[in-house]
Amino acid sequence: PLKLTGPQLLCQLKERVEVSTLTQDLQPFASLPWSSQLPARNITSEIGPYKTCAVVSSAGSMKNSRLGKEIDSHDAVLRFNAAPTVGFENDVGSKTTLRLINSQVMASEDHRFLSSSLYSSGILVAWDPAPFSADLHQWFNRTDYPIFAQFQRYRRLHPLQPFYIVHPRFEWQLWQRIQANMAEQIQKNPPSSGLLGTVLMMSLCEVVHVYEFLPSKRKTELCHYYQKFHDAACTLGAYHPLLYEKNLVKRMNQGSDKDIYLSGRVTLPGFSALNC
């Protein structure tokens, strides 16, 4: 494919990726007894807009970064899955405005999704690897993990906490932007939570700073800053097309290479700030 410039890539994302979440009027959900547990409107019409936002990757290279204060200075902070702040404030900050979780986290016993205090503050956004068709009926009948059963249980326990579910169209439209801008064939698995969250925040914020998605000089095989587990695949990808995602973000970055090297920081404009 023709190699697009950073600004062209940004406009492609803005124009071709619809950041959407499930609403109660969508079939098959509208016909189910629990449809009213889904939000009435799309996340982008209920949340934000924020001026400045931080996206905090869970990478091991966050460790010893001392980025906590800088991260907390943003109007909104997005974190992923089981990533904690308690005990890691110096490096990752303590503010959590949104948490993006995959359906594996919601379903697996060891994450104690229904009872752990990790998930009970801030706005929750969940996603499940849906079939490529992005057809809601097909997906509903074969989700990767039981996202809808867990969603209903969670909503009963925490009825006041905002909780959105990513529309599979968003996953696959984003996947198509990655594929369309790469010479090689990439695996047909959805983008990682990292890229989904970054684009979600681009739709809610004027400016987005992403930390340690593109690894800094602290790059390490330590998978997460909060766990003693080493695997280079966490940074480079296996199931997710992570390396390609990072290539795309590198091309869209409006900050300097020095920012990446020293702070692992990427600067992206929000969609509202783009003149396409």
Contacting residues toward ligand NCC, per CB under 6 A: 57-60, 80-82, 102, 104-105, 192-194, 213, 223-224, 234-235, 239-240
| Residue closer to ligand NCC, measured from CB, 34 or 239 | 239
- The smaller minimum CB distance to ligand NCC, of residues 23 and 124, is found at 124
CB 245 within 8 A of CB 175: no
Q: Which of 189, 199, 205 is nearest to 242 (CA)?
A: 189
> What's the closest the beta carbon of residue 173 comes to ligand NCC, in angstroms?
17
Closest approach, Cβ 193 to ligand NCC, in A, equals 3
Minimal distance, residue 45 CB to ligand NCC, in Å: 25
CB of 220 to ligand NCC, least distance (A): 8
State the burial class of residue 75 (Cβ atoms within 10 Å of its Cβ: 0-12, 13-18, 19+): middle
Q: How far is the CB of 221 from ligand NCC (least distance, A)?
A: 8
**122-125-126 Cα angle (round to 5):** 135
CA dihedral 140, 142, 147, 151 (to 10 degrees): 30
DSSP state of 208: E
Minimum CB separation from ligand NCC for residue 233, in Å? Answer: 8
| CB nearer to ligand NCC: pick between 51 and 112 | 112
**Which C-beta is closer to ligand NCC: that of 111 or that of 169?**
111
Between 32 and 178, name the residue whose CB sits nearer to ligand NCC.
178
Given the complex with ligand NCC, which of 171 and 205 has the nearer CB atom?
171
Shortest spacing between CB 189 and ligand NCC, in angstroms? 10
Q: Can you say whether the dihedral through the CA atoms of 210, 215, 221, 225 is positive or negative? A: negative
Task: Please say which residue, 22 or 106, places its beta carbon nearer to ligand NCC.
Answer: 106
Question: Which amino acid is present at 238?
Answer: A
Alpha-carbon torsion angle 188, 244, 102, 41, nearest 10: -90
CB 212 to ligand NCC: min, Å: 7
- The helix (run of H) or strand (run of E) holding residue 250 is helix 242-252
Distance, CA of 36 to CA of 152 (rounded, Å): 10
Check: CB of residue 214 under 8 Å from CB of residue 248. Answer: no
Judged by beta carbon, residue 23 or residue 246, the one nearer ligand NCC is: 246
Rg from Cα positions in the chain: 18
Distance CA 84, CA 218 (A): 20
Q: How far apart are CA 95 and CA 160, in angstroms?
A: 19
